[in-house]
Chains A and B, each alone.
Chain A
Amino acid sequence: MNKNLKCPSASGRRTELKGILREAIVVAAAGATLAFVVNAISPRGLTLTRNYFPGATNGIVSAPVLSPITGIKQKGLKWLDGQQTLRLFDDPRYLQHLIVFIDARDGDQYQKGHIPGAYEFDPYYPEQYLATVLPVCQAAEDIVVYCDGGDCEDSQFAAVTLRDAGIPNQKLSVFVGGMAAWTTNGWPVEIGGRNSRNVRKATS
């Protein structure tokens, strides 16, 4: 038997490897093309040039001991605990829209339950919400932004986005405990859209 059939030459192997590389390049190009086309036309696509984490400091994300409060302070924002947030919620100015609550979670989470009267504002798709939220925030005296709580930073990014859109920093506060703390305390939760009147006591 011709051994060359079983043992390809070095040049044969090189040619084969080059062929595999070329094939990989073609597949990669096809994948990249599909990716960026879909991203461009999808309503959930990412805006490639946008900074989705405004005010974030590099090297912070994986630091397990960094508290949310430190992150909030580093962004130049104020923070509120649960009792402070509840006082603002019960304040008569809330009904006068001089205090505004901003929910920085995505639409599904908002619909499942939010602080009654809070405005939805997903900071990753701000253009969908700014037209509604911006005038309300401009008219308000105090703005409380929240998300899930814990290590969720979306409330901070939402607050920075509002600040970058012209809302004075002194109006903005971040509710550190977020929705997790709100529901754990058994405070009221509104289901569905804003002012849906479907309000229930949260179950922890």
Chain B
Amino acid sequence: MAAVLARCLVGAVFVYMGCVKALHPVEFLKMVRQYEVVHDPFLLNSIAAALPWFEVVCGALLLAGIAVRGSALILIALLVPFSWMVLHRAVALQASIPFCAIRFDCGCGGGEVPVCRKLLENVFLVLLCGWLLAGRGRNFCVRYRLI
């Protein structure tokens, strides 16, 4: 039952975060740009256009209990590099203030947040997704395994 609740929590979080970003594509585009990972306009625009919908789709599938492990894998593939980029940017912004005092809008859909809180949240989400990937949360699924 705990795993089912975890599945629903992760699903709801990503549906919400994805919708917030999907409804404001320009704002999200600006956020993606600030990480300076991609400079090519086509790639930058494609990431900004597509990434929120990946979150919405994976989140919705987790809520419904469809393709659970595939969705969890995709969310881990999104969370891990994104968390690394948040950490990297926080280190770049750190001057004379304590690391955990740094706040910025990471583009996740939650507005400006303390970087430590965001990193801890992401670690927690990765662990929950890992738990689902390991095969938990099979109850109350529409179609646990898609293929």
Residues of A whose CB lies within 8 Å of any CB of B are: 19-28, 30-32, 34-36, 38-39, 42, 44-53, 58-59, 61-62, 64, 106, 124
Contacts and interface: CB of A to CB of B under 8 A. Distances in A.
5 tightest A-B CB contacts, nearest first: A23-B70, A35-B53, A35-B50, A24-B70, A31-B57
Contact of B95 (A45, A64, A124): A64
A48 B92 contact: no
A58 B58 CA distance: 32
A193 to B, nearest CB: 21
**Which of A19, A24, A50, A61 has the most chain B CB atoms closer than 10 A to its own CB?**
A24
Contact of B92 (A20, A22, A62): A62
B128 interface: no
Nearest to A52: B29
B13 interface: no
How would you classify the secondary structure of chain B's contact residues: helix, strand, loop or mixed?
Answer: helix
Contacts of B26: 44, 46, 52, 106, 124
Given A19-B147, A31-B50, 18 more contacts: A23-B69, A23-B70, A24-B77, A26-B147, A27-B67, A27-B70, A32-B53, A39-B49, A39-B50, A44-B23, A45-B49, A48-B49, A52-B41, A58-B39, A61-B36, A62-B89, A62-B92, A106-B26
A22 B69 CA distance: 10
A96 B93 CA distance: 46
Contacts of A61: 33-34, 36
Nearest to A61: B34
Contacts of A53: 33, 41
A114 to B, nearest CB: 18
A38 B58 CA distance: 16
Which interface class (under 10, 10 to 19, 20 to 34, 35 or more) fits B? 35 or more
B55 to A, nearest CB: 8
A133 B116 CA distance: 44
Most chain-A CB neighbours within 10 Å: which of B23, B70, B145? B70
A20 B69 contact: yes
Nearest to B27: A106
A42 B33 CA distance: 21
B74 A50 contact: no
B50 A23 contact: no
Contacts of A59: 36
Interface in B55-101: 56-58, 61, 67, 69-71, 73-74, 77, 89, 92-93, 95
A28 B57 CA distance: 9
